[in-house]
Structure 1
Amino acid sequence: MEGTYMNMNVSVLLVNQDFCYAATHSLKYFYTATSGIPNFPEFVTVGLVDGLPISYYDSNIRRETPRQDWMAETQGFEYWERQTQESISAEHSFKANIDIAKVRFNQSGGVHTLQRMLGCEWDEETGATDGYDQDGYDGEDFISLDLKNLRWIAPVQQAFITKQKWDYNKAQLEYLENYYTHICIDWLKKYVDYGKSTLKRTVPPSVSLLQKSPSSPVTCHATGFYPRSVMVFWRRDGEQVYEDVEHGEVLHNEDGTFQNSVHLTVKPEDLDSRRYECVVQLSGVQEDFVTRLERSVVKTNHGNTGRTNPGAEGSGSSGLIIGAVVGVLLLVAIVCGVVIWKKKKDAKKGFAPANTSDDGSNSSGNSYDTVNSQEALILSQ
């Protein structure tokens, strides 16, 4: 039933999210403004709980809409109307701030993006909480909140004026500290309770070994699993392989499950060595899902590399599988390449603060203060 409210616009926006254990729950919001991209909404917001989309708004539909049945069933008309008005307010501010950003970076036309990520995490077992704040422009980090020391970090010169202004606003910093440690966490706990039948389930993966050509890396593709907390890796002679391995991102499927891939560069003779195996470890499931690398089970665009005949049913389906994977990755590259800025390997994960309204008890995790929404955005003048 959860798939009722899923759509591709939501699924393609969700990348670059870190592994977290089942006991750790997260509430995250993505705000993205774009300019110069034809046939793509100028403003999009997506809300997620534990990596699962719960709400969606864009400048074409101009309505905040549920993306899970349990969100539609537990939140009434007033909730969605309030979220709609807040997203409309944010849309106006974000569009204005792209123009300000162009001035800051001495730009005129072209394709540009401005994104905010916000959210919090709660460890159900230990009770520990955390909050994140990060803003990006044109695919690069712009400014982020150091919640522990209540100060802003500006990695680029163009953000320094914003850092000075926000560091001086002590009342705002104190409010953000309260937002991340209380308001956001309270809403996260509510959402986890509302969607517990979905969020706390486990669905095992379907695992395939794929290869485009005899000289291409072998891809271990796991799909259809839930939750998103997963580790997919290669082993050789029982030991994990780190060299000649490339890890993919955890991506959404339209039915609310996830997919992930890991690529291994091997010599052709290794396909018959029986030394390699792909291992999938899913949070909440004790057993590992292990697939041994053998020539006969590797699916390719030109038929199975082993004993299966090129015209057999297995080889025909392999092309569809590889084509589907490539198609999803291409769509992700087209869309996410312009809305998600790149993530540094050693950087702390971050999601940016929403300025909630004064009535915190009635505001969901992504509420904007209608008076200060322009001031809250990253490029306030």
Structure 2
Amino acid sequence: MKFIIFFIYVPFVYSVFFSELHSFITTYTGIHGMTAAGIPEFSAVTSLDGQQIDYYDSITMELIPKQPWMQEFASKDMWKEDTDIRQYVQLVYKNNIDVLMERFSQSHGVHTYQRRYGCVWDAKTEESHGFDEYAYDGEDFISLGVKERRYTESVLQAKPTVQKWSDNTAQLGSLKRYYDHECVYWLIYFLKLRKAGFKRRGPEVSLLQKLPSSPVKCHATGFYPSKKSAILYVPLDDWKKNQYACVVEHKTETIQTILTDDEIKSNNRTTKAYSKTLCVMGVLIVIVLVICALVQRKRKQRRKFNLVPSDSDEALYIDKGL
């Protein structure tokens, strides 16, 4: 007797752009006095919505993608340019810490110099705001009022730097363009890249069983959006008497996975399931709609203002000496 359970899972319509706040943040950290411990004297981390997407440090001297869907971007010419920028900033930070130690009358010890900059974007209202903050030894040092294009020092030792950076009108103009347009452009770009990566990956189906006497669980994961899973529990008696098959229907394809007893993942690896069976999990439908209007609007802005950053622009806003 073949007994088929038909299980349908239809999540609500979802878009990465709908009613969410998104963040795109880069953090640079320079360290003095810890190299003997194997700690890099410089590191750079970029995150999207709090999730690390790339990493660089002065030991490897390489920019490393930290998410599978970043591999595509890592194959582009711009990846080499981004690596060069971080190598340049690494040298700037080494010099900056020496300057700060002198200003603070320090001759030795462990010291850190950091910058945290980026933007937050509300996809629903299309509003965004940027931030640009510097710290020395864990304390506030300088911050940039993005809208006013005005630097503010938090300590007396920061005054010479504030004066120097405030007089650099070309640098301030580049920063305004970055925070008004380019930061959000890259944020949306990586959101789309992440979404496409999840769609390409598709669901994964597996059989799980905690103990030999536990129900067999047909588990499907890996859909987009993330944190969604569909589970069908098969009682032990049903598993023995009936035949099952797992079928997952994705938006882009139908995946029919034939799972035998030997493929059951159990805490007791030596225990085999009962007779030759197929586990059935019915149709799983994932509907993902993309709101393209926002992206198209940003593209039009980019074409109008020629906002894709050039090497010379990035040298101005990425970082500078004190």
Q: 1:72 to 1:22 in 2, by over 3 A?
A: farther
What is residue 245 of structure 2 aligned with on the other side? none
> What's the counterpart of residue 26 of structure 1?
23
> TM-score by structure 2 length?
0.57
Aligned to 1:361: 308
- Closer, same or farther in 2 for the Cα pair 1:363/1:124, shift >3 Å? farther
Distance 1:186 1:45 in 2: 20
Give the aligned CA root-mean-square deviation in angstroms.
2.6
Runs of 4+ displaced beyond 3 Å: 197-200
Q: Which runs of 5+ in 2 are unaligned?
A: 1-17, 200-225, 228-305
Q: Deviations over 1:241-292 (max 9, x none)?
A: xxxxxxxxxxxxxxx99xxxxxxxxxxxxxxxxxxxxxxxxxxxxxxxxxxx
Looking at structure 1, the residues matched to 66 and 78 of structure 2 have their Cα atoms a distance apart, in angstroms, of 14
Aligned mates of 1:44, 1:76 — CA distance in 2: 21
Rg larger for: 2
Q: Tell me the amino acid that sits aligned with residue 47 of structure 1.
A: T
Kindly provide the amino acid, as one letter, of the partner of residue 104 in structure 1.
Answer: R
Report the CA distance between 1:197 and its aligned residue. 6.0
Is the CA contact 2:56–2:64 (under 8 Å) kept in the aligned structure 1? Answer: yes
For 1:36, the equivalent position in structure 2 comes to: 33
Letter in 1 for 2:32: S
Q: Aligned residues, how many?
A: 198
User: C-alpha deviations, 1:142-194, integer Å up to 9, x for none?
Assistant: 00001122211101000011111222223322221111011111111100111
Q: Deviations over 1:82-140 (max 9, x none)?
A: 11111111101101111001011010010000101110111100000111000000110
Contact 1:31 1:45 in 2 (8 A): yes
Contact residue 115 and residue 135 of structure 1 kept, 8 A: yes
8 Å contact kept, 2:175–2:317: no
Q: In the TM superposition, what is the alpha-carbon distance from 1:76 to its structure 2 partner?
A: 1.8
Q: Is the Cα contact below 8 Å between 1:30 and 1:115 reproduced in 2?
A: yes
**Take 2:155 and 2:29, find their aligned partners in 1: how far apart are those partners?**
20
TM-score by length of 1: 0.48
Q: Which runs of 5+ in 1 are unaligned?
A: 1-20, 201-255, 258-358
Give me the whole-angstrom Cα distance separating, in 2, the residues matched to 1:363 and 1:122.
23
* 8 Å contact from structure 2 (residues 103, 157) kept in 1: yes
Is the contact made by 1:65 and 1:80 (CA closer than 8 Å) also made in structure 2?
Answer: no
Give the aligned residue type for 2:115: R
Give the aligned partner of residue 287 of structure 2.
none
Name the structure 2 match of 1:143: 142
Letter of the 1:361 partner, please give it. V
Q: What secondary structure, in the 3-state scheme, does the structure 2 residue paired with 1:70 have?
A: helix
Q: Equivalent residues in 2 for 1:306-317 (5 A)?
A: none
- Cα displacement (A) at 1:360: 5.1
Which residue number corresponds to residue 65 of structure 1?
Answer: 64
Matches within 5 A, 1:216-365: 361=308
- Equivalent position of 1:187 in the other structure: 186
Identity %: 38
Task: Please give the per-residue CA displacement for 1:26-64, whole angstroms capped at 9, x wherever unaligned.
Answer: 110010010111210010000001011111000111001
Q: Which residue of 2 aligns with 1:91?
A: 90
* Pairing 1:116–2:115 present: yes
Letter in 2 for 1:97: N
